[in-house]
Amino acid sequence: MPSVLNVGGDSKTIPLPDHYRGWDHLLLDIDPRDDVDLVCDARELQTREPALFDAVYCSHNLEHYYPHDVPRVLRGFVHVLKPNGFAEIRVPDVGSVMRAVVEKDMDIDDVLYVSPAGPILVRDVFYGWHVEIERSGKDFFAHKTGFTQKSLIAALKAAGFPLGAACEPLGGYEVRVVAFLRPPDEAQCRLFKLAYATPGGSARR
């Protein structure tokens, strides 16, 4: 059974994408909640046993680290992945937010959109969701950096992912990038609807 490390996923009640259905799901979080499998700061992943996971899934967590710590986190992903593994990362799309602010003449305290959890202000994208930060009193919910699709791919390559397969922006001011350590095999290409290069050199989907 393939395994996925869910980095900073908060709780297993938050479902993973359907393409991880049937995978062994291990949750890593700095907050020692009941369903956390590995209580760990993601900046310390390189101290853990290497090559354990087929995938790392990191949704809206990478922006919670200072820019100088992001390479350390990403190198930790490389460390814990199997040689043919991949990382799937989702972050707020700061580029689309900035464009919306300019085009709509929005202020920093204006509502950017309404999520299932409630209204999200412009400043929530840049600094972290104020409701959660105020309610919990925990500073690690604050945002300390931000990404565009281009800057996230560049960070992944610099950290040791030689191949970045950029997926389309997901909408809702969110971007996703899937980064591979090796050229994706046929199963991985089917998983993310990528073109697969056969050993003979032809490509198919």
Say yes or no to pLDDT of 201 above 60.
no
What token pair was written down for 71? 């390479």
Strands of the chain, DSSP E:
3-7, 24-29, 38-39, 53-59, 81-92, 111-115, 118-121, 163-166, 174-180, 196-197, 203-204
- What domains does the chain contain, in order, with CATH numbers? 3-94+143-204 (3.40.50.150)
Confidence grade of residue 169 (pLDDT, cut at 50, 70, 90): low
For 100-148, the pLDDT digits (tens) are 999 999 999 999 999 988 999 999 999 999 999 999 998 889 999 999 9
Q: For 140-159, give the DSSP string.
A: GGS----B-HHHHHHHHHHH
Return the pLDDT at 198.
Answer: 61
Cα(60)–Cα(5) distance, integer angstroms? 14
Phi, psi dihedrals of residue 135, rounded to the nearest 5°: -70, -40
Say yes or no to pLDDT of 38 above 80.
yes
Say yes or no to pLDDT of 204 above 60.
no
- Helix/strand/coil for 94: helix
Return the pLDDT at 191.
Answer: 85
If you average pLDDT over residues 83-90, what whole number do you get?
Answer: 95
Confidence grade of residue 74 (pLDDT, cut at 50, 70, 90): very high
What's the N-to-C CA distance of the chain in angstroms? 24
The C-alpha torsion from 70 through 71 and 76 to 82, rounded to 10°, is 120
Residue 12: how many other CB atoms lie within 10 Å: 16
